[in-house]
Amino acid sequence: VQLQASGGGLVQAGGSLRLSCAASGSIFSIDDMGWYRQAPGKQRELVAAITSGGSTNYADSVKGRFTISRDNAKNTVYLQMNSLKPEDTAVYYCNANIRGIGVRGVRNYWGQGTQVTVSS
């Protein structure tokens, strides 16, 4: 099982980006999925998360600007980022709790990270 993130890039303040993260491999089901970010010199922090049923939660700093969604048929989670600010600059990582086929229990997986840079 692996997670492949894409969609990062350089954007001006006020602009938008959409991140995608697709899970692949021998997957039975996916529970919670989420996006984290880590800025230089800072700890990794939760940006947004979504349950298998579609319930969401967001960091206060992104509420009203970011939207997390998922396509269960495609095993993919998205992060729509609007009204981007320079302080949103970070490496963004996707994360998921996945039940693999033939694997006992749920395991936690991380994507490789995608850079988001917001210029002022």
pLDDT digits (tens, 9 = 90+) for 44-58: 999 999 999 999 999
Residue 14 has a pLDDT of 98
pLDDT at 116 over 90: yes
5-36 residue pLDDT tens: 999 999 999 999 999 999 999 999 999 999 99
Q: What is the pLDDT of residue 103?
A: 87
Q: What is the pLDDT, as a whole number, of residue 21?
A: 98
Identity at 74, one-letter amino acid code: K
Q: What pLDDT score was predicted for residue 42?
A: 97
Q: Which two tokens stand for residue 109?
A: 């997986």
Which distant-in-sequence residues (6+ apart) come within 8 Å of 110 by Cβ?
Answer: 3, 93, 94, 95
Residue pLDDT, tens place only, 77-112:
999 999 999 999 999 999 999 999 998 999 999 999
Picking from 37, 5, 40, 33, the residue whose alpha carbon sits closest to that of residue 21 is 5
Tell me the three state secondary structure of residue 55.
Answer: coil
In this predicted structure, what is the pLDDT of residue 32?
98
pLDDT of 117 > 90? The answer is yes
